[in-house]
Amino acid sequence: MDVFIGNLPLELDDEGLKKIVEPYAKVSRSKIVRDKVSGVSRGYGFVTVPDEEANKAISQLKGQSIEDKVLYIRKSQEKKRLPERFFMPREWREKAAEKG
Q: What is the pLDDT of residues 68-88, one digit of tens each?
A: 899 999 999 877 766 666 677
> Is there a domain that residue 24 lies in?
yes
Q: Measured between alpha carbons, how far apart are the two ends of the chain, in Å?
A: 40
Contacts of 7 (CB under 8 A, 6+ apart): 43, 44, 69, 70, 71, 72
How many Cβ atoms are within 10 Å of 49's Cβ, its own excluded?
A: 23
Distance CA 52, CA 86 (A): 37
In a domain, 85, yes or no: no
- The list of the chain residues with pLDDT below 50 reads none
- pLDDT value, residue 86: 64
Where in the sequence is the domain holding 67, given as residue range(s)?
2-75
Q: What is the pLDDT of residue 90?
A: 82
Q: Would residue 98 count as lying in a domain?
A: no
Q: Looking at residue 49, which CATH number applies to its domain?
A: 3.30.70.330
Does 90 map to a domain? no
Tell me if 78 sits within 8 A of 60, measured CB to CB.
no
Q: Is residue 88 part of a domain?
A: no
Give the Cα separation of 56 and 69 in Å (integer): 21
- The pLDDT value recorded for residue 88 is 73
Q: Is residue 25 part of a domain?
A: yes
Number of domains in the chain: 1
In a domain, 59, yes or no: yes
pLDDT score for 29 = 96
Judge whether 42 lies within some domain: yes
